[in-house]
Amino acid sequence: MAQGADVSGLFPEMVKAGAVPDVVQKKLVSFYVRAQAPLQPQLALLAVNSLRKDCAHPSPAVRGLALRTMCGLRMPGIQEYLQQPLVCGLRDKASYVRRAAVLGCAKMVKLQGDCEVDGALVNELYSLLRDQDPIVVVNCLRALEEILKKEGGVVINKPIAHHLLNRMPDLDQWGQSEVLTFLLRYTPRSEDELFDILNLLDGYLKSSSPSVVMAATKLFLVLAREYPDVQADVLVRVKGPLLSACTSESRELCFTALCHVRQILRSLPGHFSSHYKKFFCSYSEPHYIKCQKMEVLCELVNDENVQQVLEELKSYCTDVSVELAQGAISAIASIARTYTEQCVGILTELLGLQQEHITSAVVRAFRDLAWLCPQCTDAMCQALPGCEDTIQDSEGKQALIWLLGTHGEKIPNAPYVLEDFVENVKSETFPAVKMELLTALLRLFLARPAECQDMLGRLLYYCIESLVSEGNKEILKVHPDSPMSEGNKELLKAHPDAGSLTLIPDVSLTAEQFEKTWLSLDTSCQLSLPWCGPVHADTIQTALCVVHIQTIAMSKAGAQPWKAYLSAQDDSGCLFLTELLLQAPDSELQVSVKQNEAKPEALQSFISALRTVLEAVAGLES
């Protein structure tokens, strides 16, 4: 069975094999029956009678094993066979049987599902909280917690709380930590009672078990919430056990202790500062412990140890683990909020290594520091040139581009670095980088227009070209108030999947030809598009040229109302004439389109392209 072989056909023989006095053989049969019962529930009933007989066996080991086995049979209807043996087990003279019976009660109630909890069973378990066997007591707490989950769990009143406190010396370390956790639910009725409880708990702050120390500390802090001096004294006293746990060979214990240290530092900043070397990382420690230690070191830095801590963190920056190295750089950046000059010097020095992941993390740290520590901007800007050759990841590129756009006036080669990004924008795989590049270049254009104008135009050309390419895939959305003819509307509905449109470049009409043709045609479609702010004619004209829509005439900037007349022709000879009308800034842009041939699909594609360009320009203007 352990090797995965199908042994289900041996079920009847295995049940018979369990009816022997040998306890070891009974245990083996128990493992088999519990594993096979869910697969063969009918045959499992054969084992129930044998197990019920074993519940009355003279040997406590056999009785306890029988209860554990019955409670482990995950099959429908088993709970009706469990109740009587479990009740007898709760009153058994042998503590081993009572332990098994208590836990079996929780399993039985879970098998019953949403059925009402038996009050007599709950009372029986509460009475067993005063059992002579300490393990039975703790098992009762866990069982009641599971059974009464919907009611909020086990109730800890004054008699139970004081009884549990008095039984603490009898419990093992696991039991002590469990009881201390349950005692968090009890609130002392008076100050005298409070300090009596604290006096009883005092010795557990020096326990050899870190779990008991932490549980006792938490209970102390909760009970003494109105006595800050008592809380501070407790935190001082647990410093030693916590530091020992932080250097424990048990990784789980070490990690838990470090989490507690960070929690304590929130109440007592710098509490462990004199022991900062205890939180230096060892090469053999796993990554998650090293990260916790670095977080603690960031909180322990002061004027006396800052140099040593920074040197230690600097050594982690070249670790073979990329994640650890970047975490160390982030930790140095966190310390830089207080010790700016020293940290910026270290970060700048790391750029000289020209390692991709290190450079990326440093540039990201510079971006964050530019927000938090404006006084170090000049030093960071001097260190940036050359970083663009190393960074390959999306976050690093975004951080570098943001710095070049926001502080480009302090970086001599900022426009030329951004120009390299513009040249390679078509091959850029990260959309977020493209968005950051557009924003940064617009910012830098305001500070250095002469150097940025040409590349900004090329970037806008690419953006509009991309938008139009996507826009041609969309279905035309006619404005609900548009006076389009009903016939054209029906035709557009009949052809929802309009094909792509190819407009011919360099086809222009004179103003006289446009006017004559415009007056001879009926309006094919009218749209209303939202518009914010004034109109910049050059921007619109440049954007329209990208998609081969020619400008016949256009009002001066600032004119009210503002008008523009456009023309375009597709490869089949169909002519599209357009009028743009903006009555006032921050109003809707009225678009009227006329067509010399009735081609609904071509009209749909043209309006989709025109609409995409105008919406893109409107977004840039706003």
**Helix and strand element counts for the chain (H, E):** 29, 5
Joined tokens for residue 187: 């609130």
- The per-residue pLDDT of the chain, averaged, comes to 84
Average pLDDT over residues 584-611: 88
pLDDT at position 500, please?
63
pLDDT at position 162, please?
92
**DSSP string of 516-561, one letter each residue:** HHHHHS-EEEEEEE---S---HHHHHHHHHHTT-EEEEEPPTT-SS
59-68, 308-317, 468-477, 533-542 — most confident range: 308-317
Q: Which of 436, 439, 438, 385 is CA-nearest to residue 410?
A: 385
Average pLDDT over residues 543-563: 84
Question: How distant is the alpha carbon of residue 481 from its chain centre?
Answer: 45
Confidence grade of residue 361 (pLDDT, cut at 50, 70, 90): very high
pLDDT cut 90: percent of the chain above it: 23
Where residue 599 falls (left for φ over 0; alpha for ψ -120 to 50; beta otherwise) is: beta
pLDDT of 620 over the 80 cut? no
pLDDT at position 622, please?
53
Q: Cβ distance 271 to 265 under 8 Å? A: yes
pLDDT at position 612, please?
83
Average pLDDT over residues 205-224: 85
Average pLDDT over residues 366-373: 86
For 578, phi then psi, to 5°, come to -135, 140
The range of the structural domain enclosing residue 81 comes to 1-152
Which long-range CB contacts under 8 A does 450-458 form with residues at least 24 apart? 451/415, 452/415, 452/418, 455/415, 455/418, 455/419, 455/422, 457/542, 458/422
Average the pLDDT over each of 358-367, 447-456, 553-562 and give the range with the smallest value.
553-562
Confidence grade of residue 202 (pLDDT, cut at 50, 70, 90): confident
Residue labelled with tokens 């222009």: 508
Would 235 be classed as within a structural domain? Answer: no
Average pLDDT over residues 574-587: 88
pLDDT at position 495, please?
33
**How many Cβ atoms from other residues are within 10 Å of residue 41's Cβ?**
15
Average pLDDT over residues 195-216: 86
pLDDT at position 207, please?
84
Give the H/E segment covering residue 582: strand 575-582
Average pLDDT over residues 499-509: 74
- Where a domain ends, among 152, 179, 211? 152
Average pLDDT over residues 511-531: 88
- Where a domain ends, among 152, 173, 198? 152
pLDDT at position 307, please?
93
Which sign does the torsion angle of CA 57, 22, 96, 112 carry? negative
Task: Read off the CATH number of the domain in which 112 is found.
Answer: 1.25.10.10
pLDDT at position 482, please?
38
pLDDT at position 496, please?
34
Average the pLDDT over each of 234-243, 254-263, 289-298 and give the range with the smallest value.
234-243
pLDDT at position 488, please?
41
pLDDT at position 469, please?
60
Q: Cβ distance 143 to 151 under 8 Å? A: no
- Where a domain ends, among 116, 135, 152? 152
Average pLDDT over residues 103-112: 83
Tens digits of per-residue pLDDT, 424-472? 888 888 889 999 999 999 899 888 888 888 888 888 888 887 776 655 4
Total count of domains within the chain: 2
Task: Read off the CATH number of the domain in which 570 is found.
Answer: 3.30.310.10
Would 181 be classed as within a structural domain? Answer: no
**How many Cβ atoms from other residues are within 10 Å of residue 476's Cβ?**
19
**DSSP string of 369-417, one letter each residue:** HHHH-GGGHHHHHHH-TTGGGT--SHHHHHHHHHHHHHSGGG-TTHHHH
Residue labelled with tokens 């005439």: 553
Would 605 be classed as within a structural domain? Answer: yes
pLDDT at position 593, please?
94
Would 494 be classed as within a structural domain? Answer: yes
pLDDT at position 508, please?
72
Distance CA 440, CA 459 (A): 12
Cis omega before residue 561 (within 30°)? Answer: yes
Would 42 be classed as within a structural domain? Answer: yes
pLDDT at position 493, please?
35
Average pLDDT over residues 553-560: 81
Would 312 be classed as within a structural domain? Answer: no
- Using a cut of 0.75, tell me whether the model's pTM lies above it: no
Which sign does the torsion angle of CA 120, 125, 126, 128 carry? positive
Q: Cβ distance 8 to 38 under 8 Å? A: no
Tens digits of per-residue pLDDT, 51-67? 888 888 888 888 888 88
**How many Cβ atoms from other residues are within 10 Å of residue 371's Cβ?**
9
Would 491 be classed as within a structural domain? Answer: yes
Confidence grade of residue 621 (pLDDT, cut at 50, 70, 90): low
pLDDT at position 490, please?
34
Would 593 be classed as within a structural domain? Answer: yes
